[in-house]
Structure 1
Amino acid sequence: MADHFVDRSLEEIRFWSRIMKEHSLFLKLGFNCDDTQLIREADRFYSIFENIENQSLAYSSDTDPQTIYDFNKVVHGAVCHIWAFKRKVLELIIHCKILGNNFPLLVDHVSREAAYFMKRLEQLNTGTLDPLPDAVINENVFFLKIMADHAKFINHLLDPSERKLVEQARDFSHDFDQLLFQAIDLDSMRPESLTQPLLDQFVDQNRVSVRQLRDFKKTAYELIEACRIKSIIPPLLADHVFREASHFLEILDSFELELSATK
């Protein structure tokens, strides 16, 4: 159990600290050049999460659980601060106090991911991870919206002349909105909806769609990296959303294995 706590904590921190680090960079790139205070704050968070990422890589499965418990608390504090920064930026944008190229939905999106990371660290340190049936629904409600958001961002950042890719991104946005609505319906039907057949079908259906979106993102990243399509999507952003889709797919794969083991 202690080994599982250490491994799970390090897995989450290594993945999400890199995501938080990159969020800092993306927000910075979206600020106007005269938003110097916000740029400095974004740079500071980039350094903080780069340090956290590097520290996590220095630990291993053999690290003392108490050390990881304490590390989780330190990381949790940093995530709380970047979440507050993101919500401050969202307020400034919505109240028209700053301009720039950060969509309000994008800033809300990255703040939701910070809130998710905070909650996961709390669950790990208190030993209160969701039971499998609840985890299946909760993770899907969260990640399906993340995937739907990604499709919308890709759609808006591609050059309009890339008509086929724009159309594909729009279709993915619609498809994942529908999958999200289904997940929310299943959520509202709890606890009655927590049955093996429903959860099996739910995971299977979503795995197919996430795999297709993951492959689309991979292709888009490769095309952007090779300068073969027209867009204002940085290669790092394309890789970022690809990694998040891959992460969600890994979660769904693990759910499938766990559900199969309970039959």
Structure 2
Amino acid sequence: MSDLFVVRSLEEVRFWSRIMKEHSFFLRLGFRCEDTTLINEANHFYRTFEGIERRALAFTDDADPATIRQFNIEVHTSVCHIWAFKRKVLGLILTCQLPGGTNFPLLVDHVSREANYFRKRLEELNQGQLEPLHDAIIDENVFFLRIMADHAKFIGHLLDPSERKLVDQARDFSHDFDQLLFQARDIESMRPQSQTGPILSQFLDQNRVSVKSLRDFKKTARDLIDQCKIKSIIHPLLADHVFREAERFLEIIDMFEKSLTGKNNTWIHH
């Protein structure tokens, strides 16, 4: 179990510390040049999570569990701080104290939800108490379906309005994922009666189809942005960032499918 704890911890920290580092960069891009205090805070968080990512990559899977548990506690503290920073920024935007900035309130809320998810995962790992599989399937899908729905909305709003076909596609994905999210919340409220093998299996299959389509759309958009073939204000790193999160969701769906069919029990819980 210790080995699995180390492997899972490092895997989560490597993925999410990079995401937190990039969030700091995106937020900074959206601040006005006179917002020097916020820019400095964003730069501080960028350096913090860059350091965490570097340390996580330096550990090996046979690291001492006690060392990793301590590392998780340190990371947790930094994640709590970036979460508070994101909520502070959201408050400033919603009270009209940052007019002319380009961070959408929903984007700031979105990145704070991801910080909260990361924080909770670190707590669960250190306590050795990941959710039971059937609960995790529903909760993870509710979380990630909303993230994907948000991504589609951001892409639609950051593409140039003259990219009409791509804007329409982004809007279609937004609608599709909103519907999947409503379905997931219905299954969530029908718990525990809804937690049968066939229902959860169909739930995962249906979500996988849509996530794959969105992942492919994001990959195409990323490649077109890299080649400067479409008009947008999307930073190339943002295009890659949302693509990686869709890939992550697909990996999680696959892991759940294997755990559900008993082919693999990678979801640790007590």
Where does residue 188 of structure 2 map in the other structure?
187
What's 2:18 paired with? 18
User: What's the CA shift for 1:194?
Assistant: 0.8
Match of 1:3 in 2: 3
Indicate the residue corresponding to 1:39 in structure 2.
39
- Segment of structure 1 superposing worse, 47-56 or 161-170: 161-170
Please report how far the alpha carbon of residue 212 of structure 1 lies from its aligned counterpart in structure 2 after TM superposition: 0.5
- Render the CA deviation track for 1:103-157: whole Å, top value 9, x for unaligned: 0000000000000000000000001101110000000000000000000000000
Superposition CA RMSD, Å: 0.9
Q: In 1, Cα distance between the equivalents of 2:211 and 2:221?
A: 15
Secondary structure of 2:102's partner? Answer: coil
Instruction: Please list every run of 5 or more consecutive structure 1 residues that lacks an aligned counterpart in the other structure.
Output: none
SS of the residue 1:109 aligns to: helix
**Structure 1 residue 261: Cα displacement:** 1.2
Shift of 1:221: 0.1
Query: Shift of residue 249 of structure 1?
Result: 0.4
Count of matched residue pairs = 263
Determine the structure 1 residue equivalent to 2:262: 261
Q: Give the aligned partner of residue 147 of structure 1.
A: 148
TM (norm. structure 1) is 0.99
State the distance in 1 between where 2:93 and 2:161 align: 25
Deviations 1:179-206 (A, max 9, x none): 0000001001111111101000000000
1:18 deviation in Å?
0.2
Report the counterpart of residue 236 of structure 1 in structure 2: 237
For 1:97 and 1:220, how far apart are their aligned partners in 2?
A: 33
Segments of 4+ in structure 1 off by > 4 A? none
- The answer for the alignment partner of 1:106 in structure 2 is 107
Q: Which runs of 5+ in 2 are unaligned?
A: 264-270
- Within 5 Å, give how 1:200-219 maps onto structure 2: 200-219=201-220
CA apart distance, 1:97: 1.1
- Residues in 2 aligned to 1:261 and 1:68: alpha-carbon distance in whole angstroms: 28
Q: Distance in 2 between matches of 1:181 and 1:172?
A: 14
Residue aligned with 1:232, SS:
coil
The aligned residue for residue 246 of structure 1 is 247
Cα distance in 2, alignment partners of residues 164 and 178 from structure 1? 21
1:92 is matched with 92
Instruction: In structure 2, give the amino acid aligned to 1:20.
Output: M
Map Cα deviations across residues 33-85 of structure 1 (whole Å, 9 max, x no partner). 00000000000000000000000001011100000000000000000000000
Q: Distance in 2 between matches of 1:250 and 1:207?
A: 10
Residue type at the aligned position of 2:171: R
Instruction: Give the deviation of 1:251 after TM superposition.
Output: 0.2
The alignment partner of 2:125 has SS state of: helix
